[in-house]
Amino acid sequence: MKIIDYELFQVPPRWLFLKITTDEGIVGWGEPVIEGKASTVGAAVDEFMQQLIGKNPLNIENHWNMMYRSSFYRGGPILMSAISGIDQALWDIKGKYHNAPVHELLGGACRESMKVYSWIGGDRPQDTSMAAKKAHDNGFEAIKMNATEELQYVDSYEKIDSVIERVASIREAVGNQLGIGIDFHGRVHRPMAKVLAKELEQFKPMFIEEPVLSENIEAVREISQTTTIPIALGERLFSRWDFKPILESGYVDIIQPDLSHAGGITECKKIISMAEAYDVGAAPHCPLGPIALASCLQVDATCHNAFIQEQSLGIHYNKDSDILDYIKNKEVFEFKDGYVDIPKNPGLGVEIDEEHVREMAKQGHDWHNPIWRHKDGSIAEW
């Protein structure tokens, strides 16, 4: 079997899909994208695919190493996202070739279903108590929200108080049985992150995410020593080599590799297994499309330390297009009591509605994250 062709589809709301075709008629789908840089990642996919045309798609480890190691410059969000989507598509082909879901080829499932959480509140969190109650009424056992708007290095305690009021209102609305992930989104710098973590402890969050940017590991250390809340990060790390110092530090309790950013199925399986050796949990990052989510679930199925999965159904980014719009077997992402069954169809387990993909690719998108500024005109972390 040989790879004979590929196509890229830039589709709303902010995704990039890849279709790889073989001479035996088996096709695989991947999702190579970095949010806000879809066209840039697409260019990297084009460069990588030049080396894969005519090759056997089943030799995934060889192709992964070729893409990663053959270039003098490696790693980073663009190249690793391109590798990720290609890797997903190759696994999709391999699963279909062997008539088995990807998790069977990775050693088999260690669970039948995966816990998922629902996003609430938007970029600038609001109406969170009502949204949390709705999610809880719909069967979700966990939600995640952005903690705060932009914060200066040292900022007003009024902004801290507003975060506390929002989280308190959620606890009042649904009690203590709902898990609450609170995403600092890298918007908070060390001085205020220490304050915010301390104030949030009373509400027993499921975790706080990116309390500071992951490159500031020394600040993560300080925060970890002053709070009992589990600390999560990793969506802006792109390989096992990026995760290595994080795991060695011992300051992080939950890692969040993204299956469309951190080297795909091949690499993220290794990253999550590395974390297990440090008794660290995994909650893969996935505010993306159906191919990325299916890839996550295939890896989650095989990883003992994966305990919850992000998913983007109804997330504030998905205006006019959502994950179910692009697949025919919509039941594959049916959430029951806050869990989703591991997909069992061959490959990634999703049947892409190619006709709809092609139609929406005509519309395309040019999504970029907003640029925020502080009152003084300086750039704020989004």
- When pLDDT is cut at 50, 70 and 90, the band that residue 124 belongs to is confident
The strand pair at 339-341 and 179-183 is best described as unpaired
CB atoms within 10 A of CB 236: 17
**Given this model, what pLDDT does residue 294 score?**
98
- At residue 287 the predicted structure's pLDDT band, cuts being 50, 70 and 90, is very high
* CA–CA dist 305, 300 (Å, integer): 8
With b for 16 or more beta-carbon neighbours within 10 A and e for fewer, the 17-29 pattern comes to bbbbbbeeebbbb
Would residue 103 show up in a list of annotated catalytic residues for this protein? Answer: no
Q: Between the CA of residue 378 and those of 215, 297, 381, what are the distances in Å?
A: 21, 40, 10
Q: What is the pLDDT of residues 329-366, one digit of tens each?
A: 999 999 999 999 999 999 999 999 999 999 999 999 99
Q: What is the separation of C-alpha 110 from the centre of its chain, rounded to a whole number of angstroms? A: 21
Residue recorded with tokens 């925020």: 372
Reported as a single tens digit per residue, the pLDDT across 131-164 is: 999 999 999 999 999 999 899 999 999 999 999 9
As given in the structure block, the two tokens for residue 345 are 């169809």
Cα R_g (the chain), whole angstroms: 20
* Average pLDDT score over residue span 2-10: 98
Exactly one of 285, 356, 365, 374 is catalytic; name it: 285
**Contact by Cβ (8 Å): 29, 88:** yes
Does the annotation mark 185 as catalytic? Answer: yes
Nearest to 117 by CA among 340, 291, 342: 340
| CA 20 to each of CA 54, 229, 359: distance values in angstroms, whole numbers, following the listed order | 12, 43, 18
Residue 187 is given by DSSP the state -
Q: Beta strands 309-310 and 281-282: pairing type? A: unpaired
Q: Tell me what pLDDT residue 221 has.
A: 95
Query: Residue 324: its pLDDT value, please?
Result: 97
| DSSP result, 30-55 | E----TT-HHHHHHHHHHHHHTTTTS
Cα(331)–Cα(341) distance, integer angstroms: 10
pLDDT score of 257 more than 90:
yes
284-311 average pLDDT score: 98
Catalytic residue among 136, 185, 189, 261: 185
Structure tokens at 74: 């490696």
Report the pLDDT averaged over residues 67-72. 95
Which residues make beta-bridge pairs with 209? 183, 232
pLDDT score of 231 = 98
Predicted TM-score (pTM) of the model is 0.96
The mean per-residue pLDDT over the stretch 91-112 comes to 98
| Amino acid letter, residue 207 | F
Q: Is the pLDDT of residue 110 over 90?
A: yes
Of the pLDDT bands very low, low, confident and very high (cuts 50, 70, 90), residue 57 is very high
Q: Mind giving me the DSSP string for 280-336? A: -EE--B--S-HHHHHHHHHHHTT-TTB--EE--TT-TT-SS--GGGGBS-GGGG-EE
For residue 41, count other CB atoms closer than 10 A to its CB. 28
| Residue 126, pLDDT score | 78
Mean pLDDT of the chain: 96
pLDDT of residue 319: 87
Cα separations in angstroms, 373 against 150, 154, 203, 370, 379: 8, 15, 30, 10, 4
> CA–CA separation, 269 vs 277, rounded Å?
13
What average pLDDT does this structure show over 170-182? 94
pLDDT tier for residue 314 given thresholds of 50, 70 and 90: confident
- The two structure tokens encoding residue 70: 């053959």
Is residue 127 predicted with pLDDT exceeding 90?
no
- Structure confidence by residue, pLDDT tens digits, 11-33: 999 999 999 999 999 999 999 99
Task: Determine the Cα–Cα distance for residues 72 and 346; give it in Å rounded to an integer.
Answer: 36
Task: Evaluate whether 340 touches 334 at the Cβ level (below 8 Å).
Answer: yes
pLDDT of res. 292: 98
Give the integer Cα–Cα distance in Å for 169 and 55: 56
